[in-house]
Structure 1
Amino acid sequence: MLIFFRDRRNGFLAVAAVAALLLTGCAQGLSAAPGTGAAGPSSSSSPSVSSSRTAPSAGPTPASASAPTPGATSRPANGPVPMKESAPVSINIPALDTRSDLLHLGLREDRTLDVPPGDPGSPASWYDQSPTPGEQGPAILLGHVNATDGGPGVFAGLRDLVPGDTVQVARADGSTAVFTVERAEQYSKVTFDTQAVYGNTEGPELRLITCDGYNVFTGEFDDNYVVFATLVA
Structure 2
Amino acid sequence: MSKTILVTGAGRGLGRTLAEQLTARGDKVIAHARSESALDGVPHDRKLVFDLAEPAAIADAVAELGLERLDGVIHNAGVVHIGTVAEQSLEWWQQTLTINITAPAELTRALLPALRAARGHVVFVNSGAGISAGPKWSSYAASKHALRALADSLRAEEQPNGVRVTSVYPSHFATDMQRSVREQYDADYDPARATSPDSIAKTIVDLLNTPADMVVNELRIEPPNPLPIRARS
TM-score normalised per structure 1? 0.31
Higher relative contact order at CA 8 Å, sep ≥6: structure 1 or structure 2? 1
Which of the pair has more CA radius of gyration? 2
Higher strand share: 1
Higher helix share: 2
